[in-house]
Structure 1
Amino acid sequence: MRHLRLQSSLAVGFFILACCLGSSTALAQLVCLPAPRLLTTMPMGGQVGTSFDVKITGENIEPGDELRFSNPAITAKPKLGKDGAPVAGQYVVSIAKDCSPGIHEARVMTRLGISSSRAFNVGVLPEATQAKANTTLETAMKLDLNSICNAVMTKQKVDFYTFEANQGQRIIVDCAAKGIDSKLNPVVIIADEQGMDLQVERRGGMLDFEVPQTGKYVIKLHGLTYDGGPHHFYRLALKKAANDEVVARMPSIQKVSAFSWPPVGLTDKSIKPETEPNNQHAQAQKITLPCDITGSFFPAADVDTFEFTAKKGDVWWVEVASERLGRPTDPSIVVQHVSGKPGSETITDLVELSDIPSPVKVSSNGYSYDGPPYNAGSSDILGKVVIKQDGLHRLQLRDLFGGTRNDPKNIYRLVIRKAAPDFALVGWALHMNLRNGDRNALSKPIALRAGATMPIEVVVVRRDGFDGEIELFMDNLPNGVTATGLKIPKGKSRGIMVVSAEGSAPRGLTSAQFFGRATIDGKEVTRTCRMASMQWPVKNAWSEVPSPRLMADVPVSVSNSELAPITISPAEKKVWEVTAGEKLTLPLTHERRSEFSGANITLKTYGAGFEKVPAFDAPLTADQSQAVLDLAALKTPPGEYKIAFYGYAVVKYQENLEAVAEAKTALMQAKQDAEALAAEAKKLAEIVKSAPDAQRPSAETAAKAAAEKAKMAQASIANADKQLKNATAKAKPKDIVDIIVSTPVTIRVNPAKKAK
């Protein structure tokens, strides 16, 4: 695919950032306040109707956190140890019998709110988990046919499995890795019993193996560069298949580009297959418009040719999906007008179609330097064909790099239709983009600290000529959380959703509904907005290319364990009115809960009609500031607008101050308990000295027990003191650069009064 990655409008030069921070320390700052991130689950899925143990790892995840899933048919309870206490990071997961197979999301609800997600797979086959090292032929793990094994690749090793099969059986070996959030690029090999290779797959495909003779066979699996480690997990499926069966791959996550497919209302009711051979002009498949055709770029260098008649002035919209179906393809179309007789044809090129462009400017270098790597564009096709002459037309569809690909699974769907104006939306949490080691691309769940505001960038792919404005909405939010959409203007491709939590908001979590609304042909149309996130937190995109994907749902949480460092908001919650061509002075209040490095924050403005407001400084040491909006310079027409202010600041972040307070209380209590037990032990020791001979043994036993308790109490003091020191060290202020966004402001621009 030839696209680079998206650029966020938050991307600014470092010199601007330095001004915002007012500090020379910016070069080495940590980036973004801590957020919870789920990194691994083991296993990565399970069979419907079963219960099993799951272990998790993550960042900013603590004992006692709740494991949750996007599908309510999947539930989890903490695993209890022999002492009846929960085992840290372990759960018993149950999948209901009516749970839908496929990819779901696993997340953890933590002290800081909801975590980023990890793909969790539900299937119908029995499952096993790699229990011990199987990195030699002698220690190979035996697999049953029609089963799935969950495993982790060991670095610089090969995993070995064995299975038994009968002559003539068709065996499918499918390894899910990239499609389930893994960092592994698997190489899968089927070998004979001695380990000699019979069939190899190096590109992440599926092995389709006909058993030559009854006996034992070996599966060997390793990373393409022999990489491995806890983030290089995989699910290995071993299945029998009928000779004529079309075997589907294991479910896979979706790239961000997939958000724009399918068009609303598309069904398979009128779909027709392409008919081979149709490579040559003389073999062109005859079609009538409109049409809906499915085919494949197979064999290598395949060119599918179609012919249709059309009239001058006709306008047709052509859409091809292949890359958005998860295939590594790059479709291209040429439409030509054909006149004359066969053998003496006159061919006139009408239009060439390729690529759905990114809705916003992509990063100039493919990393996170001047924009996060969210690419909502696609190598698929969405374009217009205007017929200029009556008569026969020829459409040729090919994969631009199909000469190097020879896979019948490289399917496509070709839809040619009259204009059906519409739109598709996708959003993601905005990133900051700094220099050197701060080229970050972090997964950022919508996990709000009370008092915080989070910006979500929303982009649109417009279909079939629709160019109207789109209002953005989010419903079903936790108590104390509001969402305000800064609309996508007419003809533009970008808007902002501002999600804010009140300072007094209680802890909560909901599955939000995110959508956009527009008027098309006089009717109100509502479309869901998909959310995208990084698969992995990439703290330095020089060393690792970030990989974003679409999410299955939109969880929103709020936490009051830690509060936002500062809340910037208009002095009054009202509609602020101004006359077109005049100035509006907008007073802002600062509710500060933290210290900052630097005296000021430089604020810019989100929101159509006001994005050209010059940047201005607001003090980080004061309780108020003001924004001056010059409507004469902005030339903002009358109407109602929603805006927000944003900038960067270096927060002196202190982690979990509650833990420090709790540790101090625990140490104080341990000292009190130790003092009381020491006094009791001393008292019982004195009793032993004066006890009659008959009572002395029992007195000595009681004194010994009391002395042991007093000794244990001293150990408890040492442990509590250690916990306090650890909590205090964690809470030591550290400089972290974060995005600061104000709560939204509603402004009504009234028409200027006409001179009499």
Structure 2
Amino acid sequence: MSKILNLFVALGCLAAAPGIEAASPRLDHLQPQGGQRGTEVAVTLIGGRVGQDPQQILFYDPGIELKSIERIDDNQAKATLAIAADCQPGIHGLRVRTATGLTNLRTFHVGTLPEISEVEPNGDFAAPQSIAIGSTVNGVITNEDVDYFVIEAQEGDRLSVEVEGLRLGRTFFDPAIAILDEERFEVAASDDSPLMQQDAFCSVVAPKSGKYIVEMRETSYRGDDASTYRLHIGKFPRPAVAFPGGGKPGQEIELKLLGDPLGEKLAKVKLPDVPPLDFRFAAEDEFGAAATGLPLRMIDAANVIEAEPNQELDNATRGELPAAFCGVIEQAGALDRFRFAAKKGEVWDVNLVAREIRSPLDAIVRLRKASGEELAGSDDNAGRPDSYIRFTVPEDGEYVCDVVDHLQQGGPTYAYRLEITKPRPAVDIVLEERSQFEATEVVVPQGGRAAVMVTANRAEFGGELNVGFGALPAGLSQETVVLAGDYNRLPVLLRATPEAPLAGQLTTITAELTDKSQPLLNRFRQQTWLVRGSNNVNVWSHYANQGAVAVAQPLPFSIKIVEPKAPLVQSGSKDLRVVAEKKDGFDGRIAVRMLYDPPGLSSHQGIGIEPGQTEAVIPLTTNPQAWARDWRIIVIAEADVNGTVRTASEFATLKIAPQYLAMAYPTAATEQGKAIDYAIGITQTTPFNGAAKVELVGLPPGVTTTPQEITKDSTEVKFPLQVAADARVGHHKQLYCVITIMENDEPVIHTIGTGELRIDAPLPPPQTAQEGLPATGESS
């Protein structure tokens, strides 16, 4: 459960006076970026407007408590954090809430060692910074910078060095570390690692007593002021993988810790009853605790540990499905096999997990009949190096799975879990990004509204869904729509009462079938893009299974939709009218846009209610495939009030309907200077009252006509075309009609096409005699 810590300032629940509102605080970074568990840490929060009335920090993980928070200046605040002695080491996401909003997510990093700072100059191997073994160094690598630190160790000591660089989420920073002896011989070195990805660790047994120098740099000798690091140097255990890599929720399991230089160790861990998004086990012994935990998976299937030898079909390790078959490819070229029984028609998901538990194994899985006949195989899965097979059992019998490394490599840390489970009805839920690469936070102004879009993708089931937020701060309510069985997006509208306290909360989003016919596995996940590479490739992100919601000070404006009284038809257009109410003292521009466009509809994105105005219209157009049904729509309004603020309209209903009529266009031909009647056949499907105006559009230069009228009984409309003597010659294939039907005093505009008009140049007049010759009967 996430821990949410409220800290209100004296006037935190009061509305801001007109003219002093602030908005959209940001958090660029924290200084320092981490602290030792079991201590209190003073942290400076740095970012635009983060110092304007800071009130609360929302922590995504338990173990950190906010003791105090206060303003330094508009763009800085000071917070005192108390880190519990049993706080999980590693990454902790957080957001700051001010009186006017929520910041973006940043990370705070919890360590296990006393914290110190890098002291320059320390870029000379001969003059390194002296530190005590058992320290976390906070430093920065600038361009072509190398930092050196010297420690004392005894022969036989375990010497562990680990760096957090890219994982701090500030910039594309690829650290490299090395442990050197006094003669500058390399004892150990690391750039990337399966456990740390682009960060690194070394863990060795000191070969002799004496001084050791730790080298810290960027792998290509690049760097800048944002290339900060946390370098953990101590005698702590540093296993690379925990085997068997997981278990059932709520189960106590015994782990074999692989890869530590002092050898394998055993540890017991009680898994949570409710699996979190990222659960890690941090190894500890009498010399300390690892700075980064080992990831563990939780599924409702028993572990089946491989029994060697198991490389042949007839000695494959047996298990009963569902199961997690667990093993290690300990030697290069090794093959592990597992055998199980299955019945015809059963469907099983065969999921090989290795990189997800930070194993170096790049596995290939092959599925066979017991006779050895291969049925399916998998190398990578959706661009990831782990493997997946959906297996429909062809007949009753026994089957065998092979596990090998893609490059025929192996080693003591090449662990894996081959999880074979039945598909489960599940829904993957995403809080859609408001701006690309920005995780959406929900801020609701007192007495106002906010709206967001949610995507709910169904897996292994269909049907209508009820989707919505869980617990919300006091004074907030929500309204949603039923998510149709053939669609995966829906708007959620949140309202705050004028008296709602200023507060923030982390919550989740859930979905259930409207008929409650079966339970669904809900998988809500929000990605925060922290570091992106070339072409915006994801390099490092934070993932959370909760979203942030807050109540903020009221805004100086509100908006509403003038609900359409007539439908918008396929291949049609409509102006959506939006009205603003501006409070005294505010007359800024209010940008308005649709929260979302239903399939087949396009809305103009550049509309605003200008200063001195209170209304605007958003042009809407549809294509022929627009989904015909009633849509619940919302308009979002944004303005600059010392930063961007936003609110939402109430729901309105927009009906998208099929066209009321169809038209059959002829292919007509005429000559320059010759008028023609262009008759278009009409088939009507939806009766309408009164006369409809029909305009023929797309005529070539030199051709004119006049609008016509039709009624619900018309079967044809005829346009008299006036064709000038210099009308453009050629085939003109872009003729179409714009039909305006009035319904409930609103236009229902159809655009229906297309027709063709050919214009030819007239033939020359016939000649009666050959030019230059005398007529018949004349003498020469």
Match of 1:412 among 409, 412, 416: 416
CA pair 743-220 structure 1, distance change in 2 beyond 3 A:
farther
Match of 1:458 among 443, 455, 460: 455
Describe how 1:11-90 pairs up with structure 2 within 5 A. 35-62=24-51, 65-66=54-55, 68-70=57-59, 71=62, 73-78=64-69, 88-90=76-78
2:340 is matched by which residue type in structure 1?
Answer: F
**Following the alignment from structure 2 to structure 1, what is the Cα–Cα distance between the partners of residues 380 and 646?**
33
Alignment of 1:193 with 2:234, yes or no, is no
CA pair 243-303 structure 1, distance change in 2 beyond 3 A:
closer
Corresponding position of 1:148? 136
Corresponding position of 1:228? 223
Describe how 1:145-294 pairs up with structure 2 within 5 A. 145-183=133-171, 184-203=173-192, 204-237=199-232, 238-241=234-237, 242-245=262-265, 248=283, 250-251=291-292, 266-267=299-300, 270-276=302-308, 278-279=310-311, 284-294=316-326
SS at match of 2:503: strand
CA RMSD of aligned residues (A): 4.9
Alignment of 1:559 with 2:552, yes or no, is yes
1:44 is matched by which residue type in structure 2?
Answer: Q
- How much has 1:304 moved relative to structure 2? 3.3
CA pair 485-631 structure 1, distance change in 2 beyond 3 A:
farther
- How much has 1:191 moved relative to structure 2? 0.4
Report if aligned partners of 2:167, 2:540 keep a CA contact under 8 Å in 1.
no
SS at match of 2:148: strand
Corresponding residue pairs, total: 576
**Following the alignment from structure 1 to structure 2, what is the Cα–Cα distance between the partners of residues 567 and 79?**
31
Match of 2:391 among 355, 361, 385: 385
- Once the two structures are superposed, residues 15-49 of structure 1 have per-residue CA deviations (whole angstroms, 9 ceiling, x without a partner) of xxxxxxxxxxxxxxxxxx98433232233222333
- How much has 1:605 moved relative to structure 2? 4.1
Report if aligned partners of 1:77, 1:91 keep a CA contact under 8 Å in 2.
yes
- How much has 1:72 moved relative to structure 2? 7.0
CA pair 633-119 structure 1, distance change in 2 beyond 3 A:
closer
Alignment of 1:334 with 2:366, yes or no, is yes
SS at match of 2:429: strand
CA pair 107-484 structure 1, distance change in 2 beyond 3 A:
same
**Following the alignment from structure 2 to structure 1, what is the Cα–Cα distance between the partners of residues 499 and 327?**
53
Describe how 1:344-359 pairs up with structure 2 within 5 A. 347=373, 349-353=374-378
Report if aligned partners of 2:45, 2:76 keep a CA contact under 8 Å in 1.
no
Alignment of 1:104 with 2:145, yes or no, is no
- How much has 1:382 moved relative to structure 2? 5.2
Greater Cα radius of gyration, structure 1 or 2? 2
CA pair 480-620 structure 1, distance change in 2 beyond 3 A:
farther
Corresponding position of 1:512? 506
1:431 is matched by which residue type in structure 2?
Answer: S
- How much has 1:80 moved relative to structure 2? 10
SS at match of 1:508: coil
SS at match of 2:167: helix
Structure 2 length normalisation: TM-score?
0.61
- How much has 1:209 moved relative to structure 2? 0.5
**Following the alignment from structure 1 to structure 2, what is the Cα–Cα distance between the partners of residues 744 and 294?**
52
As a proportion of its length, which structure holds more helix? 1
**Following the alignment from structure 1 to structure 2, what is the Cα–Cα distance between the partners of residues 103 and 408?**
27
- Once the two structures are superposed, residues 187-212 of structure 1 have per-residue CA deviations (whole angstroms, 9 ceiling, x without a partner) of 11010024332211111343120111
- Once the two structures are superposed, residues 377-432 of structure 1 have per-residue CA deviations (whole angstroms, 9 ceiling, x without a partner) of 855455421121344422223455x55x7665454322213343333434342335
CA pair 633-385 structure 1, distance change in 2 beyond 3 A:
closer
- Once the two structures are superposed, residues 201-239 of structure 1 have per-residue CA deviations (whole angstroms, 9 ceiling, x without a partner) of 111343120111111111111111223234322222222
SS at match of 2:553: strand
CA pair 584-223 structure 1, distance change in 2 beyond 3 A:
closer
**Following the alignment from structure 2 to structure 1, what is the Cα–Cα distance between the partners of residues 76 and 118?**
21
Structure 2 gaps of 5+ residues are 1-21, 193-198, 238-261, 267-281, 284-289, 658-780
SS at match of 1:179: helix
**Following the alignment from structure 2 to structure 1, what is the Cα–Cα distance between the partners of residues 454 and 222?**
34
**Following the alignment from structure 1 to structure 2, what is the Cα–Cα distance between the partners of residues 332 and 486?**
44
CA pair 652-541 structure 1, distance change in 2 beyond 3 A:
farther
SS at match of 2:265: coil
Report if aligned partners of 1:170, 1:211 keep a CA contact under 8 Å in 2.
yes
- How much has 1:128 moved relative to structure 2? 2.8
CA pair 322-620 structure 1, distance change in 2 beyond 3 A:
farther
CA pair 517-37 structure 1, distance change in 2 beyond 3 A:
same
**Following the alignment from structure 2 to structure 1, what is the Cα–Cα distance between the partners of residues 379 and 493?**
36
Corresponding position of 1:425? 429
**Does 153-162 or 232-241 show the bigger shift?**
232-241
1:122 is matched by which residue type in structure 2?
Answer: V
2:189 is matched by which residue type in structure 1?
Answer: V
**Following the alignment from structure 2 to structure 1, what is the Cα–Cα distance between the partners of residues 384 and 491?**
23
2:207 is matched by which residue type in structure 1?
Answer: P
- How much has 1:302 moved relative to structure 2? 5.4
Report if aligned partners of 1:172, 1:239 keep a CA contact under 8 Å in 2.
yes
- Once the two structures are superposed, residues 699-724 of structure 1 have per-residue CA deviations (whole angstroms, 9 ceiling, x without a partner) of xxxxxxxxxxxxxxxxxxxxxxxxxx
**Following the alignment from structure 2 to structure 1, what is the Cα–Cα distance between the partners of residues 623 and 536?**
45
- Once the two structures are superposed, residues 619-646 of structure 1 have per-residue CA deviations (whole angstroms, 9 ceiling, x without a partner) of 7455264898999985656xx8644357
**Following the alignment from structure 1 to structure 2, what is the Cα–Cα distance between the partners of residues 643 and 327?**
47
2:511 is matched by which residue type in structure 1?
Answer: R
**Following the alignment from structure 1 to structure 2, what is the Cα–Cα distance between the partners of residues 653 and 271?**
56
**Following the alignment from structure 1 to structure 2, what is the Cα–Cα distance between the partners of residues 546 and 449?**
34
CA pair 475-386 structure 1, distance change in 2 beyond 3 A:
closer
**Following the alignment from structure 2 to structure 1, what is the Cα–Cα distance between the partners of residues 421 and 236?**
41
Report if aligned partners of 1:292, 1:415 keep a CA contact under 8 Å in 2.
yes
**Following the alignment from structure 1 to structure 2, what is the Cα–Cα distance between the partners of residues 634 and 321?**
42
Fraction of identical pairs, as percent: 20
Report if aligned partners of 2:427, 2:511 keep a CA contact under 8 Å in 1.
no
**Following the alignment from structure 2 to structure 1, what is the Cα–Cα distance between the partners of residues 119 and 52?**
24
Structure 1 length normalisation: TM-score?
0.63
- Once the two structures are superposed, residues 547-578 of structure 1 have per-residue CA deviations (whole angstroms, 9 ceiling, x without a partner) of 43213642223433866xx7553347xx9999
**Following the alignment from structure 1 to structure 2, what is the Cα–Cα distance between the partners of residues 125 and 354?**
40
**Following the alignment from structure 1 to structure 2, what is the Cα–Cα distance between the partners of residues 652 and 186?**
42
Report if aligned partners of 2:467, 2:480 keep a CA contact under 8 Å in 1.
yes
CA pair 408-243 structure 1, distance change in 2 beyond 3 A:
closer
**Which structure ranks higher in relative contact order (CA pairs < 8 Å, sequence separation ≥ 6)?**
1
- How much has 1:120 moved relative to structure 2? 1.7
**Following the alignment from structure 1 to structure 2, what is the Cα–Cα distance between the partners of residues 187 and 232?**
12
**Does 448-457 or 223-232 show the bigger shift?**
448-457
Corresponding position of 2:80? 92
- How much has 1:178 moved relative to structure 2? 2.8
Report if aligned partners of 2:441, 2:547 keep a CA contact under 8 Å in 1.
no
CA pair 333-60 structure 1, distance change in 2 beyond 3 A:
farther
Corresponding position of 1:548? 541
- How much has 1:74 moved relative to structure 2? 2.0
